[in-house]
Amino acid sequence: MGKKFLVALALILSSCATLKNPVNFYYALKPLKKPEAPEFYLEDIYDGLFTGYDYVKNEFASEFLDSMYTVIEEQYRKELLELGLPEDAYQRREVMKWALYFARHANVKINARLRRGAPYLPYIKRRLKEEGMPEAIAYLPIIESAFRHNALSRMRARGIWQFMRSTARKYGLRVDWWMDERLDPYKSTDAALRYLKDLYNMFGSWDLALAAYNAGEGRILRALKRSGGNDFFDLKRYLRRETREYVPKFLALVLVINNPEKFGTNIIMPEEKEQEFDTVIVPRQVNISLLAKWAGISEREFRKLNPSFVRWATPPYLRNFAVRIPKGRKSLFYARMKSTPKSKWYRALAHRVRRGESLWTIARRYGVSVYALKRANRIRRARYLRPGQVLVIPVGPGAKARYARRNRKIKVTGKGYHRVREGETLWSIARAYGVSVKALKSINHLRSSRIRPGDVLKLPKARGYAKRSNENGSKLSGLTLKKGYHRVKKGETLWSIAKHYGVSVSALKRLNHLRSSRIKPGDIIKVPQRRISYARKKNKTKKRGYYTVKKGDTLWKIARKTGVSVDKIKKVNGLISTSIKPGQVLKIPGEG
C-alpha cells in the first residue's frame, strides 16, 4: 500500500463520527487518488463541505481546488470587479460550496429556471445595460423566485423580484385589491433595478446592495456598524442565515453559468429573443373575459400577458390604460372594442340589501369574502350598510350560474331547512326542532355555534316530534310531541320528571344517555311510554305496587307497612342509600 493511501484512510476513519448521513459515509469510503481532471470527485468535495468533514484540508482535494481556481475564465473575474468584489472572492469556501451544489443540480436549479425566464431575460439584460449595471444581476430572479411570476414567499413578497408590498408601492408599483403590479415581470423589473441602484448608491458596493435587497437597508447598516468592516464577508456573522447565504449563492450561480465546462455541467442558455406583443389603450373598466375575446385569445393567455390584473375585471379607477395583446392583433382588437356597446363592457352580480342582512351574510351567500365586498363597493365601515342599498358582488360572469346551481340544492321554504332569523341561536333552533345542537353542527359542518340572520341550516331528522303543523315557523306551538317524550318546562328537574313518571333518575339518565342531571327548559327527553298515575292526596293511592312517601316516613316504616324488606325496596327502586323525600313514589315488589 502506498503512503498516500494510508494517510487518506486514516483521515476517513478519524472523521467517521462526524459523517452521520449514510450517503456521505459511502462517499467518504471512496479511495482518494491524485486528480487528473477538474471533474475529480465533485461529489466527495460537495458532501464534505456540507457535512463538516473538511476535505479542503486534504492535500488531494486542495490540489483539485487549486487546479480549478487556475482555470476560472477571465470573464468571471471581470464580473466580480464590476460587482465591487475582489478577484479571489470565488475562492471563499461558502461560494465554492454553492457552486458545487449548482453544478450537481444544474438541470433543475439552473436550466429549468433559465427556460422559465427566457421571455424576460432579454428585456432585463437590455435594461441593465441602459442603467449601467452589471449584467450578472439578470440571474438574480433565479435565486429570488425561480422566475415564477406569481411566486409568494412566507413574508408575503411576490413576483419574480420578490417585492414586499410597501417597497413595491415606494417604487411606483400599484398593489391593491384590484391589481398587483409585482406580478408583472416588466414593470417589476424596472422597479427592482431602480431599487438596486439606490442601494448601490447607499452602500457603494454591489455585494452590500444585494444583501440589503434581501434583508433590508436597516439591518445591513446595523451590521456594518457592529462589525466595523466595509464588505459583505466582514459582516456576515451579524446577519441571519438566509442573508449570509444569499450573496455567496448568487456569486456561485454566476460562476457556474459562466464556467459550465469547468464543473462538468451542461448549462443550456435560452435563445436571446425578447417577447413580442402589441399594446392597446382601453378607455374604461372592462371584464377580463371581454378583453380576451376582443384580442381573439383565451382568458388564460390574456392573463399571462397581463398578470397584474388579479380580478374578473380591470380596476374602476383606471382610465385610458394600456394592456398587452399578441403581436399583429391591434386592428382586430380596436374593431371589436368599437362594435361592442359600452353597457356590456363591465358586468357583475348586483344585490339589493334587505332588512336584517349584513355584509357577512351577503358575502357567505355569494361565496366571497367580506373584505372583497368592502373593496368592490368602497365601504369603509360595515355599519353604514342600509336596506335598499345595491351592492356589486365581486365575482365573475359565470358566478350567477354557479350561485343558481348552489342554491337549487338548498330549498329554503321546503322541508328539512331553516333560515335563521334575528335573535335566534343554534340552541333555540335545536330546541324548536327537537334535535341536539351537536346534530345541527354536524350536519351543517359548523366548527362553532356562531350563526347569523339569513343563514340557511339543514335540519337533521327530529327525534321527539310528530308532524310539523306550521312549515314556515319555528315556534313550539306548531309542533306536537310523540308518545314517550317529554318537553322540559321551566322549574322542572330530572328528579321531578322521574318522580312524575314513577322512575328513578338513573333510569332516565340511562334512557337518554345523559352524563349529568343538567337539563334546560325546552329540552326533549325520552320517558317510559306507559305513564304512571299517582294520587296527590294523603296517601289515598291504593294502586297496587306503588307507595307515596309521607312526611316522617322512613324506608324501615314503609317496609313494615308493606311487608317487604328494606333491601328489596332499595333494589327495585335503584336506591343507593336509605334517604327518601316526602312525595316520592316508591315501587313496592309483590303485594303493596
CA atoms within 13 A on the CB side of 249: 16
Question: What's residue 513's pLDDT?
Answer: 74
Question: What's residue 373's pLDDT?
Answer: 83
Q: Which of 290, 197, 247, 315 is nearest to 89 (CA)?
A: 247
Asked if residue 197 belongs to a domain, the reply is: yes
**Same-domain check for residues 303 and 162:** no
Lowest mean pLDDT among 168-177, 295-304, 328-337, 580-589: 580-589
Domain that holds residue 338: 278-344
**Number of folded domains that form the chain:** 4
Candidates 74, 135, 144, 591; catalytic one: 144
Question: What's residue 384's pLDDT?
Answer: 72
**Same-domain check for residues 247 and 296:** no
Asked if residue 157 belongs to a domain, the reply is: yes
Question: What's residue 307's pLDDT?
Answer: 93
Domain termination residue (choose one: 213, 236, 263):
263
Which segment, 321-325, 369-373, 391-395, is predicted with the most confidence on average?
Answer: 321-325
**Same-domain check for residues 387 and 311:** no
Which has more confidence, 392 or 17? 392
**Same-domain check for residues 326 and 229:** no
DSSP state of 343: G
**Looking at residues 363-390, what average pLDDT do you find?**
78
Q: How does pLDDT run across 148-172, given as a tens digit for each residue?
A: 988 988 888 999 999 999 999 999 9
Question: What's residue 200's pLDDT?
Answer: 92
DSSP state of 183: G
Residues 546 and 521 sit within 8 Å (Cβ to Cβ): no
Q: How does pLDDT run across 222-240, given as a tens digit for each residue?
A: 999 888 877 788 887 888 8
Residues 574 and 506 sit within 8 Å (Cβ to Cβ): yes
**Same-domain check for residues 301 and 202:** no
Residue 526 C-alpha cell reads as 325520552
Question: Exposed, middle or buried: residue 394 (CB in 10 Å: 0-12, 13-18, 19+)?
Answer: buried
Question: What's residue 79's pLDDT?
Answer: 64
Question: Exposed, middle or buried: residue 279 (CB in 10 Å: 0-12, 13-18, 19+)?
Answer: exposed
**Same-domain check for residues 109 and 171:** yes
Lowest mean pLDDT among 282-291, 329-338, 455-464: 455-464
**Looking at residues 256-281, what average pLDDT do you find?**
85
Question: What's residue 332's pLDDT?
Answer: 93
- Indicate if the pLDDT at residue 450 is higher than 60: yes
- In angstroms, how far is the first alpha carbon of the chain from the final one? 110
Category of 253 on φ-ψ map: left (φ > 0), alpha (ψ -120 to 50) or beta? alpha
- Indicate if the pLDDT at residue 335 is higher than 50: yes
Question: What's residue 56's pLDDT?
Answer: 39
pLDDT-derived band of residue 209, with 50, 70 and 90 as boundaries? very high
* CATH at 574: 3.10.350.10
Residues 354 and 422 sit within 8 Å (Cβ to Cβ): no
Q: What percent of the chain is modeled with pLDDT above 90?
A: 23
Distance of alpha carbon 169 from alpha carbon 158, whole angstroms:
13
Distance of alpha carbon 576 from alpha carbon 179, whole angstroms:
73
Taking the CA atoms of residue 433, residue 435, residue 438 and residue 443 in that order, the dihedral angle to the nearest 10 degrees is -70
Q: Which of 157, 151, 137, 143 is nearest to 109 (CA)?
A: 143
Which segment, 25-39, 81-95, 126-140, 526-540, is predicted with the most confidence on average?
Answer: 126-140
- Indicate if the pLDDT at residue 473 is higher than 70: no
pLDDT-derived band of residue 190, with 50, 70 and 90 as boundaries? very high
- Let me know the angle formed at the C-alpha of 52 by 46 and 55, rounded to the nearest 5 degrees: 55
Residue 21: CB atoms within 10 Å: 12
pLDDT-derived band of residue 507, with 50, 70 and 90 as boundaries? confident
Beta strand 546-548 pairing with 585-587: antiparallel
* CATH at 161: 1.10.530.10
Asked if residue 44 belongs to a domain, the reply is: no
Asked if residue 283 belongs to a domain, the reply is: yes
Beta strand 485-487 pairing with 524-526: antiparallel
Beta strand 417-419 pairing with 456-458: antiparallel
Write a three-state SS string for 397-409. Answer: CCHHHHHHHHHHC
DSSP state of 517: S
DSSP state of 295: H
**Looking at residues 58-76, what average pLDDT do you find?**
50
**Same-domain check for residues 153 and 186:** yes
Asked if residue 113 belongs to a domain, the reply is: yes
Residues 168 and 175 sit within 8 Å (Cβ to Cβ): yes
Question: What's residue 482's pLDDT?
Answer: 62
Could you give the 3-state DSSP secondary structure of residue 378? Answer: coil
- Indicate if the pLDDT at residue 58 is higher than 50: no
Write a three-state SS string for 20-73. Answer: CCHHHHHHHCCCCCCCCCCCCCHHHHHHHHHHCCCHHHCHHHHHHHHHHHHHCC
75-86 exposure pattern, b = at least 16 Cβ within 10 A, e = fewer: ebbebbeebbbe
**Looking at residues 232-252, what average pLDDT do you find?**
87
Question: What's residue 90's pLDDT?
Answer: 57
Beta carbons within 8 Å of 166's beta carbon, 6+ residues apart: none
**Looking at residues 535-545, what average pLDDT do you find?**
44
Asked if residue 402 belongs to a domain, the reply is: yes
pLDDT-derived band of residue 69, with 50, 70 and 90 as boundaries? low
**Same-domain check for residues 571 and 550:** yes
Lowest mean pLDDT among 180-194, 314-328, 485-499: 485-499
pLDDT-derived band of residue 565, with 50, 70 and 90 as boundaries? confident
Question: What's residue 158's pLDDT?
Answer: 93
Question: What's residue 72's pLDDT?
Answer: 56
Question: What's residue 413's pLDDT?
Answer: 43
Domain termination residue (choose one: 321, 344, 367):
344
**Same-domain check for residues 138 and 219:** yes
Which has more confidence, 84 or 50? 84
DSSP 529-584: SSPPP---SSS----TTEEEPPTT--HHHHHHHHT--HHHHHHHHT-SSS---TT-
Handedness of CA 171, 172, 175, 180 (dihedral sign): negative
Handedness of CA 498, 504, 509, 512 (dihedral sign): negative
Q: What percent of the chain is modeled with pLDDT above 70?
A: 73
Residue showing cell 454553492: 98
Verify whether residue 301 is a known catalytic residue: no
**Same-domain check for residues 108 and 256:** yes
Which has more confidence, 521 or 336? 336
Q: Which of 138, 58, 109 is nearest to 265 (CA)?
A: 109
Q: How does pLDDT run across 455-470, given as a tens digit for each residue?
A: 788 888 655 443 333 3
pLDDT-derived band of residue 398, with 50, 70 and 90 as boundaries? very low
- Indicate if the pLDDT at residue 561 is higher than 70: yes
Asked if residue 570 belongs to a domain, the reply is: yes
Question: What's residue 510's pLDDT?
Answer: 80
- Indicate if the pLDDT at residue 33 is higher than 70: no
CA atoms within 13 A on the CB side of 437: 12
**Looking at residues 509-513, what average pLDDT do you find?**
79
**Same-domain check for residues 338 and 353:** no
Residue 447 C-alpha cell reads as 366548527
Q: How does pLDDT run across 88-143, given as a tens digit for each residue?
A: 565 567 787 788 888 888 888 899 999 999 999 999 999 999 999 988 899 999 99
Domain termination residue (choose one: 214, 230, 263):
263
pLDDT-derived band of residue 490, with 50, 70 and 90 as boundaries? confident
**Same-domain check for residues 208 and 222:** yes
Asked if residue 67 belongs to a domain, the reply is: no
